[in-house]
Structure 1
C-alpha cells in the first residue's frame, strides 16, 4: 500500500501530486493526446446519458415512495458529479491556471531555511495526504456498498428472496435507472447491474478527484496565509538582527505582491467553485433528509447500516468544504496581525506608511461562497443540517397522516 501511495507522489507537485494524477486518471484534466482525449470525452458523455436515464426511471417508480426516495438520493448525487465534470471541462483553463499557481507558490515557499515555515509546510502536506486518502476511502466504501447492496439484501433477507422468486417483488438495482430491456429477468438484471456499477465507479472517480483537489487547494490558501503572516512579522528582522532599509522594503513589496496574487487566484477559485457549492447545498439538504427518513423507516438492521454509511458520506462531503473554507476565512482575518508583530516601531516613518498600505491590502478578506447568497462556513453547514432536519420532520409527519 505504501509503495502504491509513493507512486502517486510527484516531485514537481509536492502538494498536489496525488490530486493532479487523480484528475488526469479520471479524465477531468484532459490529455494532449487526441485519441485519449476523445476517449475520456466519450466516457463523460456515456455517464451523462446514464444519469439522464435515472431521471427517466423516476416516472416508473413514482408510486413507490421507498423506490422514489432511493432514486432521488442517488440521482441528485450523480447530477452533481455531471455538473462538476462539465464545469471543470468548460473552465479547464481556469482550473489549470489555479493548479499551476498553487504549485508555483508552494514550490517557492519550500526553498526556505526557516524551521517554523518548514514545519508548517510539512504539517499541512501530511494533512492534505490524510484528507485526500481518507476521502477516497470513504467514497469508494460508499460505491462498494451501493454496488453490493442488492447482493447483501438477496442473501440476508429471506422474505425478499422468496418474493423475488415468486415474482411479487422486483430485483433491487445497484442504481435506479431506466434501461431498454427487462431488468427483472436474471440476464437483464446482471446486464443492468454491470452498466450501473460502471456508472457508479466512474461517478465515484469524478467526485473523489474533483472534491479532494478542491479541498487541498483550500488548505493551500490557508497555509499560504499563515506563511505570509510569518513573513510579515519578519519584514524588519528581529530585535537583535535588524535588516537594512533596502532589504526591508524588498520584503514588504514581496509580501504585498504575494497577497495580491493570492486574492486574484482565490477569487478565480471561488468563481469556479461557488455555483457548484450553491447547488451542492440544495442537493445535500434533500439527500440528508431522504437518507435520514430511510434509516428510521427501514426495518432491516443491515439496510440501516448501509444507509447510515451513505448518510455519513453525505454529511462528510459538505462538512469538509465548509470546515476548510471556514479555516481560510479566519486565517485571512488574522493576517493583518502579521505586520504589527514586526519591529515597526523601530523604523523610520516612511516604513510605517508603507506598512499601513500593506495592512490596507490585507483588509481584502478571502472567503469562499455558495453562489451570491451565503458564505461557505461552519455556521452555514449547521444551517443546512437544521434545514435538512426540518424537511425530514415534514416528510415523516406527512407519512404518518397518510
Structure 2
C-alpha cells in the first residue's frame, strides 16, 4: 500500500523532483493558476502566520516560568523560520520556478544518454534523493505527532497532573504555546485552542518538509551534474584507441563550457534564494539546540526526556543535511577541474590545449552555498554551530545553578 502511494508521487516528466514538486503544490508553496485555489492557499498561509504572531504574544504571559518560556521559544523560533521560508518562496516564486525548471531540463537531457556509467550514476542519485526525502518527511511528521500527543499523553499517564488540573493548581499542557483571546484553561477554550494549534503544527510541518526536501534534492542535483560533467570532460577527445574527429571534439568542448556556465548561473540564483534563510536558520538552530539540550537535563520524566530528545535530533538533522550536501557540492566543484586533464589532451595539438585551458579556467569557479555574507554551508560550519550551541547551553546551565 505504501509503495503504491509513493508511486503516485512520481512524475515521468520530472524524474528527479517529482515527489518534491507535488508536495510543494499540495502545501501551496507553488501556487496554482486557479484563482479560487490560489487565494485559498494564501488564506491558509496567512492563518499560520497569524498563529506564529500569537506565539510571540504568549512569551509575555509565560516569561516568569523558565520551562514554559523555553518551550515557547524553541517552537516559536522554528515557526518563524517556516514563515520566512514560505514568505520568501512566494515572493521569489518566479526564481524558484526557474530553478526547478532548469533542474528538470538538465536532468532529462542527461537521462537521454546511453553511457552505462552515467545512467548508473543518475539512478544512484535518484534513489538517494528519494531516501532523504522520505526519511526527512518521516522525521518531521514524527516530531509533529509527538508535539500533538504530548498533552494527551501527560494527562493520561500522570495522575498528579490530572489532579492538579482539576483543582486549578496547574494548567492544561498546550500543543503549542500560543495566545488566544479567550480562556484556554477551561475545557471548551482549551479544545478550541488545541484545534488551532494542531492545525498550525500540521501545516507548519508541511511547509518545512516541502521547502527543505526540495532544497536538499536541488543540492544533490548540482553535485550530480558536476560529476556527470566531469565524466563528459574525460570523453572530449574520445579514447586513446578511438579518438574523435576535430568537429566532434570542438562541439564537446563548447557543450561542456555551456553546461558549466548555465550550472554556475543557476547555482548562484539558488544560493541567492536560500542564503538569507540559512543565515537566520543558523542563529535559530544554535538557540534551539541549546534550549532543547538544557530541557533534557532538567526533565525528570523519562518519556518527556525521550520526546525532547527526538526534537533535538530533528533540529540537528535539519541543519546537518543542508551543510552536508553543500559540502558535497563544494568538493565536486573542486574535483571538476580534473576532468579535462583526465582526457587524452596530450594526444592533441596546441590549438586544442588552448581551448582546454580556457575550459579549466571556467571550471575554476567554485560552487558552494552560503549563509548570508558571513559563512559557507559546510560540515566545518555545522561543527562550529554545535560548539556554539554547547557554549550557550553551558552558560544557561551555570546561570540556573547560581
Structure 1-normalised TM-score?
A: 0.99
Q: Which residue of 2 aligns with 1:151?
A: 152
Q: Which residue of 1 aligns with 2:81?
A: 80
Give me the whole-angstrom Cα distance separating, in 1, the residues matched to 2:154 and 2:273. Answer: 41
CA deviation vs aligned residue, 1:102-154 (integer Å, no higher than 9, x gap) = 00000000000000000000000000000000000000000000001001111
CA deviation vs aligned residue, 1:4-51 (integer Å, no higher than 9, x gap) = 000000000000000000000000000000000000001111110010
Query: Pairwise mapping of residues 217-366 of structure 1 onto structure 2 (< 5 A)?
Result: 217-366=218-367
Give me the whole-angstrom Cα distance separating, in 1, the residues matched to 2:306 and 2:157. Answer: 13
Offset at residue 358 of structure 1 (A): 0.1
Offset at residue 364 of structure 1 (A): 0.3
Q: Secondary structure at the match of 2:300?
A: coil
Q: Which residue of 2 aligns with 1:11?
A: 12
Q: Which residue of 2 aligns with 1:399?
A: 400
Q: Secondary structure at the match of 1:372?
A: coil
Give me the whole-angstrom Cα distance separating, in 1, the residues matched to 2:7 and 2:251. Answer: 39
Give me the whole-angstrom Cα distance separating, in 2, the residues matched to 1:164 and 1:60. Answer: 19
Give me the whole-angstrom Cα distance separating, in 1, the residues matched to 2:96 and 2:5. Answer: 26
Give me the whole-angstrom Cα distance separating, in 2, the residues matched to 1:312 and 1:250. Answer: 49
Give me the whole-angstrom Cα distance separating, in 1, the residues matched to 2:287 and 2:165. Answer: 30
Q: Which residue of 2 aligns with 1:121?
A: 122
Give me the whole-angstrom Cα distance separating, in 2, the residues matched to 1:51 and 1:9. Answer: 33
Give me the whole-angstrom Cα distance separating, in 2, the residues matched to 1:246 and 1:34. Answer: 52
Q: Which residue of 1 aligns with 2:211?
A: 210
The CA RMSD over aligned residues, in Å, is 0.4
Offset at residue 158 of structure 1 (A): 2.0
Q: Which residue of 1 aligns with 2:90?
A: 89
Runs of 4+ in structure 1 over 6 Å off: none
Q: Which residue of 1 aligns with 2:48?
A: 47
Aligned residues: 401
Q: Secondary structure at the match of 1:366?
A: coil
Give me the whole-angstrom Cα distance separating, in 1, the residues matched to 2:41 and 2:17. Answer: 22
Give me the whole-angstrom Cα distance separating, in 2, the residues matched to 1:92 and 1:214. Answer: 14
Query: Pairwise mapping of residues 375-390 of structure 1 onto structure 2 (< 5 A)?
Result: 375-390=376-391
Give me the whole-angstrom Cα distance separating, in 2, the residues matched to 1:357 and 1:394. Answer: 53
Where does structure 1 lack aligned partners over 5 or more consecutive residues?
none
Offset at residue 395 of structure 1 (A): 0.2
Where does structure 2 lack aligned partners over 5 or more consecutive residues?
none
- 1:178 paired to 2:179: yes
Q: Secondary structure at the match of 1:323?
A: helix
Give me the whole-angstrom Cα distance separating, in 1, the residues matched to 2:156 and 2:307. Answer: 15
Give me the whole-angstrom Cα distance separating, in 2, the residues matched to 1:304 and 1:14. Answer: 41
Offset at residue 160 of structure 1 (A): 1.4
Give me the whole-angstrom Cα distance separating, in 1, the residues matched to 2:361 and 2:397. Answer: 52
Give me the whole-angstrom Cα distance separating, in 1, the residues matched to 2:163 and 2:283. Answer: 39
Q: Secondary structure at the match of 2:38?
A: helix
Structure 2-normalised TM-score?
A: 0.99
Give me the whole-angstrom Cα distance separating, in 2, the residues matched to 1:293 and 1:112. Answer: 53
Offset at residue 269 of structure 1 (A): 0.1
Which 10-residue stretch deviates more, 115-124 or 151-160? 151-160
Q: Which residue of 1 aligns with 2:3?
A: 2
Give me the whole-angstrom Cα distance separating, in 2, the residues matched to 1:29 and 1:303. Answer: 37
Give me the whole-angstrom Cα distance separating, in 1, the residues matched to 2:158 and 2:388. Answer: 34
Q: Secondary structure at the match of 2:178?
A: coil
Give me the whole-angstrom Cα distance separating, in 2, the residues matched to 1:394 and 1:170. Answer: 30
Q: Which residue of 1 aligns with 2:60?
A: 59
Give me the whole-angstrom Cα distance separating, in 2, the residues matched to 1:344 and 1:161. Answer: 78
Give me the whole-angstrom Cα distance separating, in 2, the residues matched to 1:187 and 1:120. Answer: 57
Give me the whole-angstrom Cα distance separating, in 1, the residues matched to 2:349 and 2:111. Answer: 32
Give me the whole-angstrom Cα distance separating, in 1, the residues matched to 2:298 and 2:159. Answer: 19
Give me the whole-angstrom Cα distance separating, in 2, the residues matched to 1:158 and 1:345. Answer: 81
Offset at residue 343 of structure 1 (A): 0.1
Q: Secondary structure at the match of 1:231?
A: helix
Give me the whole-angstrom Cα distance separating, in 2, the residues matched to 1:145 and 1:95. Answer: 32
- 1:370 paired to 2:371: yes
